[in-house]
Structure 1
Amino acid sequence: MHNTTTVARHLWRLCVSLSLIAALGACSDRLSAWFSPVFSDAEVEAAPMPDRMRGASVSGFNYTPDFIGWFRITGPDGMRGGGPNIRPAPPGGRSGGGAENCCMSIPAVWRPGIEVTVHWHVEKVQDGKTPGVVYRATTTLPEYGELSGSMWAIFLPGDRVKVMVSDSTNGRRADIRPADDDPFIAHGVLDDEETKGVRAQARIADCASDERDCPPELREKNYESGLCKVGLPCPPTSKKEKSR
């Protein structure tokens, strides 16, 4: 009788233990289901982070009769890059697209409202004497996909510009002239401060090769900038000659 009671007690304990294990297993399955990620590990790794940046080269097209000496694009999150000079477009055509500068950072994932500012130096009179001017415009970037290409500035008649990231897989090509009613085209305005700076540098450079009618203060700046150390004529009023 004693042995029978002992065996029954052990069997009862075993049944209780098995029931507890089964219940805990069910709970574990439920917890795993509740806390498991919506995406697989591979999908999470492949998904681009919204604030991630990537590199892009910078180039441009010119549909104007003006010479574009240089252009610069700036934007949020450290976006900053410059493009090459672009010769005037032939009548009814365009120029540019052959050269590009490396590189600038752009958001890897497009989001609405990415605002960029463009500065560009324009020579409307190409006589070798008339100085150019600098224009400035602010616009937003059109949508682009994850497999996009370069950053483009497209210069249009009337001091207008469009900035975009090429995305040929989705039909967003930079080599197709934008329609005049394109909402991403911005009108440039003269940037007086940038223009003054460019013209001052041009005067200093001119004094380096031709000192006639060169103000003394510019001669000093020319010497201090080191231009006379690279084979160009050194201004006669420079500190170098004063010390002799």
Structure 2
Amino acid sequence: MKVFRAGMALAGLMLAGCQQVPAQAAGGTIEAVNHTRWAINHFSVNGQSGIDIIGPHQGGGGGCCFRAPARWQPGMTVKIDWETGIGDTDEFPGYGNREAFLAWAKKVKEAKRRHSAVVPVPDYTGQKTCGITVHFLPCDKVKVITSCHIYSDPQYPVKEPLRMPEPAACAR
């Protein structure tokens, strides 16, 4: 009888533990689409690195991993941290002229900006999820999606063009 009670207590603990761990949807990589003229030097989602530098008007990423909860809940958000910088290296003077190189390196360093935003995760109820894609938009705006469709697919939920016009001034 003691063995039976111990077994039932253990089963109860195991069930309680399972109920406390949220079910997970399919996971995947952390990707990004950069709609701006700035390079994304690095970025992260909830502290998890997106890996690659992403040039202006390009896609990239590939960090591992993002796993959305099995059920979307109203108010779900993720924190995106990123650094922008000069995306055009046409002005790179090479290493032959030290003064020109140092001036260029200073310009690159001064152009770097750190950003952070907490953004809503759109409702993915009834849809398969595949990691997360961060869309960097002009004026330091960010959107995220968990769609399995690729950016060029007509069913992809973000419709902004890759080369978005940037306003002369951003609303703050």
Q: TM-score range by the shorter chain?
A: 0.5 to 0.7
CA-to-aligned-CA distance 1:129-172 (integer Å, 9 cap, x gap): 3321210111110011442223011011111111121144xx76
CA-to-aligned-CA distance 1:42-69 (integer Å, 9 cap, x gap): xxxxxxx992124221000011000101
Gaps of 5+ in 2: 1-19, 89-103, 162-169
Q: How far apart in 2 are the matches of 1:114 and 1:123?
A: 29
Judging by fraction of residues, say which structure has more helix: 1
- Give the deviation of 1:103 after TM superposition: 1.0
Gaps of 5+ in 1: 1-48, 75-79, 90-94, 179-186, 190-244
Between 1:64-73 and 1:138-147, the stretch displaced more is 138-147
Structure 1 runs of 4+ aligned residues shifted over 4 Å read none
Of the three residues 40, 44, 61, the one matched with 1:68 is 40
Give the structure 2 partner of residue 18 of structure 1: none
Aligned partner letter, 1:133: R
Q: CA-atom RMSD, angstroms?
A: 2.9
Give the structure 2 partner of residue 217 of structure 1: none
| Paired residue total | 119
1:160 matched to 2:141? The reply is yes
> Which aligned pairs between 1:42-61 and structure 2 lie closer than 5 A?
51-54=22-25, 55-61=27-33
1:143 matched to 2:123? The reply is yes
SS in 2 for 1:158: helix
Identity among equivalent pairs (%):
28
Structure with more relative contact order (C-alpha pairs < 8 Å, separation 6 or more): 2
SS in 1 for 2:139: coil
1:105 matched to 2:77? The reply is no
TM-score calculated relative to the size of structure 1 = 0.43
> Which aligned pairs between 1:1-244 and structure 2 lie closer than 5 A?
51-54=22-25, 55-74=27-46, 80-83=47-50, 84-89=52-57, 95-97=58-60, 99-124=61-86, 127-129=104-106, 130-131=108-109, 132-144=112-124, 145-168=126-149, 173=156, 176-177=159-160
TM-score calculated relative to the size of structure 2 = 0.58
Distance 1:125 1:152, change over 3 A: closer
Q: How far apart in 1 are the matches of 2:116 and 2:34?
A: 16
Judging by fraction of residues, say which structure has more strand: 2
Distance 1:122 1:160, change over 3 A: same
Q: How far apart in 2 are the matches of 1:164 and 1:50?
A: 23
